[in-house]
C-alpha cells in the first residue's frame, strides 16, 4: 500500500510541477495524504462495483432486534444530529446478521416479525438490505 501512495504522489507531483521540491516536508506531506486519499477512493469504488455484482438472495427470516445509532457533529456553533437504523435478522439456520435500513422501512418493522428478506451477502455478519416483506 505504501508503494502505491508514493507512486501516486510522485506522478501527481510531477504533473503539478513540484518535482524540484521532492525532498521538502510539504512534498512528502502531499505524497502521503494525497496518495491515501486517492487509494481510499479507489477502494470505495471497487467495493461498490463488487456489491452491485453480488447475487441477490431471498429467504424467510425473523426480526430479532432493532437498533438505532445516533451521532452528533458540531462545528462553528452548529450542531447536527444523524441517526442510523439497523435491524438484526435471524435466519432459518439460527445465524444472525445485521443490516442498515432506511427509516421508512425501520418504522414498519417490529421485533419478532417474520417475513421474506431480499438481500445481498456482504460478510458473514452483515447483509446489504434490499427489501423485507412481512408474512401475516
Which DSSP category does 122 fall into? -
Rounded to two decimals, what is the model's pTM? 0.60
Q: How does pLDDT run across 90-129, given as a tens digit for each residue?
A: 999 999 989 899 999 999 999 999 999 998 876 666 678 8
Position 77 scores a pLDDT of 74
Q: Are 47 and 63 part of one and the same domain?
A: no
Q: What phi and psi, each to the nearest 5 degrees, are found at residue 23?
A: -95, 0
Position 20 scores a pLDDT of 55
Measure the CA–CA gap between 16 and 113, rounded to whole angstroms.
58
Q: Are 38 and 63 part of one and the same domain?
A: no
Q: Work out the mean pLDDT of the chain and round it to a whole number.
A: 81
Position 68 scores a pLDDT of 92
Grade residue 27 by pLDDT with cuts at 50, 70 and 90: confident
Q: Which domain holds residue 32?
A: 2-53
Q: Are 71 and 130 part of one and the same domain?
A: yes
Which DSSP category does 21 fall into? G
User: Smallest Cα–Cα separation from 90: which of 132, 41, 136?
Assistant: 132
* Alpha-carbon distance values, 36 to 3, 4, 13, 69 (Å): 11, 9, 14, 28
Return the percentage of the chain with pLDDT > 90, whole number.
33
Beta strands per DSSP E along 3-126: 56-75, 78-90, 96-101, 114-121
Q: How does pLDDT run across 45-65, given as a tens digit for each residue?
A: 887 777 677 788 899 999 999
Measure the CA–CA gap between 110 and 118, rounded to whole angstroms.
17
Total number of domains in the chain: 2
Q: Are 67 and 46 part of one and the same domain?
A: no
Q: Are 69 and 35 part of one and the same domain?
A: no
Amino acid at each position: 500500500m505504501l508503494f502505491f501512495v508514493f507512486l501516486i504522489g510522485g506522478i501527481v507531483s510531477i504533473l503539478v510541477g513540484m518535482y524540484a521540491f521532492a525532498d521538502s516536508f510539504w512534498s512528502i506531506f502531499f505524497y502521503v495524504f494525497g496518495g491515501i486519499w486517492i487509494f481510499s477512493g479507489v477502494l470505495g469504488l471497487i467495493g461498490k462495483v463488487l456489491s452491485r455484482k453480488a447475487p441477490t438472495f431471498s429467504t424467510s427470516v425473523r426480526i430479532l432486534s432493532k437498533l438505532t445509532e445516533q451521532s452528533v457533529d458540531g462545528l462553528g456553533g452548529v450542531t447536527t444530529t444523524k441517526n442510523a437504523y439497523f435491524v438484526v435478522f435471524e435466519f432459518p439456520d439460527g445465524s444472525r446478521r445485521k443490516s442498515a435500513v432506511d427509516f421508512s422501512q425501520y418504522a414498519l418493522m417490529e421485533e419478532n416479525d417474520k417475513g421474506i428478506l431480499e438481500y445481498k451477502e456482504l460478510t458473514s455478519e452483515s447483509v446489504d438490505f434490499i427489501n423485507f416483506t412481512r408474512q401475516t
